[in-house]
Structure 1
Amino acid sequence: MDVSPKDRFVTVYGRKPVLEALDDPRLEVDKVVLADTARGPAAREILDAANRRGVQVQRATAQRVKVLAGNGKQDQGVLADVVAPRMRPLELGLRENPRNVLVLDGITTPANVGMILRTATAAGMDGIVVPRRGVASIDPMVVKASAGVAFRAPVLRCATAAEAAASLRGAGYPIYALDANARQSVYSADLPARAAFVLGSESAGISDDVRPHVTGWLSIPMAAGVESLNVASAAAVLCFEVVRRRTTR
């Protein structure tokens, strides 16, 4: 299958994020796109940094840069495509038969998406589905919140969370979702070794088009009258519990 560039690269934009990517020897930068109106010391600094790394610099109109960056206010006329070696389309990822997959559904706050990517990667989850629609894009704010882990997270791409849920169910995965009122907790539920887990937004929870695919609901026990956790905190509890069970089976 043809792989879209959006499923291979993390695009960062703005002078500082682009320079940070170019200055990080651990990252492979595919190309830099610089607005043809960019001149002066700032543009020269980027050109020099790209030259030191042997990275191709393409010139484009300022409007084209905005379109490619997907951000009309903060691109500052420059973007860079950074290779994300573990990012791939969900379809390809499922061919590798991952044990545990996390699906983000309606999580639009970049800080939460970034922290979830960092946590799930640290825990050892095999795949993290970040849909192109309905979830915050993997942009410089997400990269910053992940402390750079977003570049190497096992991200699986698809159009929507509903599409991911349908594909996972079709591949034989039971799908569990977090709900504060669920009778079974993440600690006591009998979870299969191969399963997918959905995290919904803090305001709306699991979206209506994902709910029909959910086969089980899980809660995180709360004490002292606390009703719920921030979604990134809930993700940490879930991911480390799921991975912990691998060592006890």
Structure 2
Amino acid sequence: MTDDGKRRPRSAPVASPWKVRTPPDALRQSRASPSPRTDPAPARSAPEIRLYGLNACLAAFARRAHDLRKVYLVESRIPALKSVLAWCVQHRLGYRVVETGDLDRLTGSRHHEGVCFDLRRPAPLALTDLLATQPAAPAASLLLWLDGVGNPHNLGALLRSAAHFGIGGVIVPRASSLDLSGAAARVAEGGAEAVALARVDDEAQALAALRAAGYAIAASVPRDGSDVFIADLPPRLVLVFGAEGEGMSTALIAAADLRLTIPGSGAVESLNIAASAAVFLAEYRRRWSVVKGAS
């Protein structure tokens, strides 16, 4: 009230920097307020990805803490995330201690394991950039090409295997809808941060560039291919996997230098892509681990 008894006008509410991405109920449950940001903020249009799962989030933080934008966690995860929270305090990034139900809604999943990060999405590499990270010919190098694969859980399982066996990178067509998601990153258990992703615009040009770099192209097929356990596997190899059901394009199969099949009992048509990839990668690693200097 003023001295003459009139009511003072209310001040306009201060806009919350969390308003766009955080549901109101999650805000009501939070017990830690974001501090003002002093490090340079990215442009508003910078794409972000919401990761969840403890191992996925810790791996992302270990490799690119500078991309971290927001942290949500349940109270029981504070001990496991002390270093992350300390980094947030040091760099004046906000974090929120929320309830499990809030994380269910923020992630759209019950498999968040009590933590969720918002990070800047890393830009995919061009094929030339990916090739520049590989050992020069004739040294052994294995890359994966995914044609039509779209299931995020399959992608996550494949990335986990690729990281385990030290694969050089994954190639996908630019037009593919396949991209890293929170679900894929959680299933990958940190593998998504260890395996580079490259997108290619022109399939024929990409195949030519790969061959120029010394790579042979191998199509994984469910039947009528060479037994992967007997076939001669070149040290520099691109393994092509197609979507379950539809398979890979006939053009890619025709362009392949060899076709490889995992022999089985015939009781089922084939393994799913994640299981197939693990078998192929293990066999390649068995052949070429000494050449690559792996233990």
Q: Give TM-score, length-normalised by structure 2.
A: 0.59
The structure with more radius of gyration: 2
* Gapped regions of structure 1 (runs ≥ 5): 35-47, 58-72
Matched, 1:139 2:181: yes
SS at match of 2:62: coil
Q: 1:81: which partner in 2?
A: 120
Residue 236 in structure 1 maps to residue 278 in structure 2? yes
Q: Could you say which residue in structure 1 is the equivalent of 2:3? A: none
- How far apart, in 1, do the equivalents of 2:60 and 2:125 lie? 22
Aligned-pair distance for 1:204? 1.5
**Cα drift, residue 216 of structure 1:** 0.8
Q: In structure 2, the residue corresponding to 1:241 is in which secondary structure?
A: helix
> What amino acid maps onto 2:278 in structure 1?
A
Q: Deviations over 1:47-97 (max 9, x none)?
A: x9574251668xxxxxxxxxxxxxxx96xxx9421669xx74321221344
Deviation at 1:141, TM superposition (A): 1.1
* Secondary structure at 1:243 match in 2: helix
Matched AA of 1:90:
L
Normalised by the size of structure 1, how large is the TM-score? Answer: 0.68
Q: What's 2:168 paired with?
A: 126
Contact 2:59 2:190 in 1 (8 A): no
% of aligned pairs identical? 29
Aligned residues: 206
Aligned to 2:247: 205
Cα 1:208–1:140 shift into 2, 3 Å: same
Q: 1:166 to 1:208 in 2, by over 3 A?
A: farther
Cα deviations by residue, 1:112-156 (Å, 9 ceiling, x for unpaired): 001101101101222222444325211111101101221222x13
Residue type matched to 1:158 in 2?
A: R
Whole-angstrom distance in 2 between the partners of 1:205 and 1:112: 14
The equivalent of 2:199 in structure 1 is 158
| Structure 1 residue 11, shift from structure 2 partner | 4.2
Structure 2: 5+ residue runs without aligned partners? 1-41, 71-83, 95-106, 109-116, 136-140
- 1:118/1:130 CA distance change after superposition, 3 Å: farther
Give, in whole Å, the separation in 2 of the partners of 1:23 and 1:237: 25
Give the CA RMSD over aligned residues. 3.6
Q: Using the alignment, how far apart are the partners of 2:263 and 2:289 within structure 1?
A: 22
Q: 1:10 to 1:157 in 2, by over 3 A?
A: farther
User: Displacement, 1:17?
Assistant: 6.8
Q: Map 1:75-114 to 2 at 5 A.
A: 79-81=118-120, 88-98=125-135, 99-114=141-156
SS across alignment from 1:121: helix
Q: Which amino acid aligns with 1:165?
A: L
